[in-house]
Chains A and B, each alone.
Chain A
């Protein structure tokens, strides 16, 4: 009985997602029926047409490129930080953790003004996608560190101490013992950072001026602005964009939820 109610609640909650897919699969005429049909009368998909007409190939490519760059930089910089913060609780480590948590709270739409002016002065806006990668890494680093730290905390210290006794250097202990043992947690945080970065919007919109270099979010915003009656097309665009994200999330759902609950409140 409870399971049935739970399924009902989840279905009601996810109705907007269902509505996106149903709209994408309806004929344009059927969309404006009143009252609306909750199941398409005739299936009608324009995925290829929308994908080509709205230049989704280059938008999605830019989104992937920026997300990959930001994820790589985040993992390179953040893994060591998460490890050290799981091992030390002296004043310096606590100060670093406080800074990380504080900076995580700052709204990107406010930070983007000084970032825009400073990057402009430094000439970084000549490579706008790199500029977005740097800004987005700043946003994702705290999240990555907070989520990955508990995985390192679970690695038994005795293993590291034993390796140290055998003469292993600190860098070897970190790279050959701690990182391999915490790899599941690192992987989950990495995927989470990548999925979040695929939806990056405010930095791309503000720092990238050339449409050829823009991301899928900005492409969707342009679509929304020019023609607000082509909802079939807009929902098709949205479905193409988010389906890979949803599939990846569904495959790793249990692990992501586990990683979130371990990291978020600690």
Chain B
């Protein structure tokens, strides 16, 4: 440590530095490096190796260059799953943010019980994803599912579609369930942003004769830009983590119609034992997640420092 820094008054944190505090911080960081960061490096290594059940215990595996990636791209399912992942993520995030925003604005009106009723929505968020998948699987059942019954009673459909076994409907069904799961978290985060907007801005706008739509467009939306950016990037991150729900609903089927990259990577490794290809896909998806995450972290950096 240089003398200039030692005397620097602009680094108050330095005065609190001690071996004890460094150890307190090092414990979780080293643990995370061991169980999260090192596995990332290991995936990268395995993605350029030939890994099968015979040499899984060996550290010396044949280097195969980019062959796993090439096999992955030539897999007939790759195009469909790439498109599915894009659709799953985009539709889920757009709908979750839109519905979450509408609910957050509604609950911002301070009526009796608003906070409590708003909290009730989070019951869905605390449920294990697999259980949510099981419930929606039952609701989407073709013959006696309640979704079809409600749609038929309201005259929207006449046939009874088999949502989860129809290649055209399986992905939309998974997306609908995922939107349901993600709405409460989006609503809560957006509520925090809404609560931070000064009330007098709206009062001033009302005095100038602005209607509610006008003040939403010219006050709420601009003031919420940072929050919306954070919520969208968190939404992408959570959607790319979704595994439990897909496992409960369709397991990616029928014939990959509702499969997405993070589920396919798991299937490649744990069901068909193509660990090299599973790792190659994982590397690509980890790169996407890390990119979104660093955008998120740097966008909230100012708050992080504060």
Contact = CB atoms under 8 A, between A and B. Distances in A.
Binding partners A and B: yes
Interface of A: 1-3, 5-7, 9-10, 13-14, 16-17, 19-20, 23, 31-36, 77-78, 80-81, 83-85, 87-90, 92-94, 96-118, 120-121, 134-135, 137-138, 141-142, 145, 169-171, 174, 195-196, 198-199, 201-202, 205-206, 217, 220-221, 224, 228, 231, 234-235, 238, 241-242, 245-246, 249-250, 253-254, 256-257, 260-261, 264-266
Contact of A101 (B112, B138, B293, B305): B293
Contacts of A1: 111
A183 B240 CA distance: 33
Contacts of A231: 138, 141
Contacts of B152: 35
Interface stretch (B20-28, B67-75, B202-210): B20-28
A17 B123 contact: yes
B6 interface: no
A33 B303 CA distance: 55
B300 to A, nearest CB: 7
Contact of B135 (A19, A81, A84, A90): A19
Interface in B227-249: 227, 230, 234, 237, 240-241, 243-244, 247-248
B230 A265 contact: yes
Select the residue from A6, A100, A253 with max chain B CB neighbours within 10 A: A6
Nearest to B281: A110
Nearest to B133: A224
Contact of A201 (B21, B136, B244): B244
Contact of B131 (A77, A113, A199): A199
Contacts of B193: 265
A261 B191 contact: yes
11 contacts: A2-B109, A32-B144, A87-B16, A90-B17, A107-B243, A217-B130, A220-B131, A242-B131, A250-B123, A254-B119, A261-B189
Give 8 nearest A-B pairs by CB, closest first. Answer: A199-B128, A80-B24, A138-B35, A105-B293, A2-B111, A114-B39, A114-B42, A81-B28
A228 B183 CA distance: 28
Chain B: interface size category: 35 or more
A260 B129 CA distance: 19
Contact of A242 (B31, B33, B127, B296): B127
Nearest to A196: B126
B162 interface: no
Contact of A107 (B56, B130, B285): B285
B130 A106 contact: no
A260 B149 contact: no
B304 A109 contact: no
B36 A84 contact: no
Contacts of B117: 3, 6-7, 10
A78 B247 CA distance: 30
Contacts of A195: 126
Contacts of B303: 265-266
Contacts of B156: none
Given A245-B126, A265-B230, A31 B144 contact: yes
A134 B32 CA distance: 10
A94 B300 CA distance: 12
B263 interface: yes
B282 interface: yes
Interface string B282-303: 1001100110111011001001
Interface stretch (B167-175, B213-221, B264-272): B264-272
Contacts of A171: 20
B122 A256 contact: yes
A97 B162 CA distance: 47
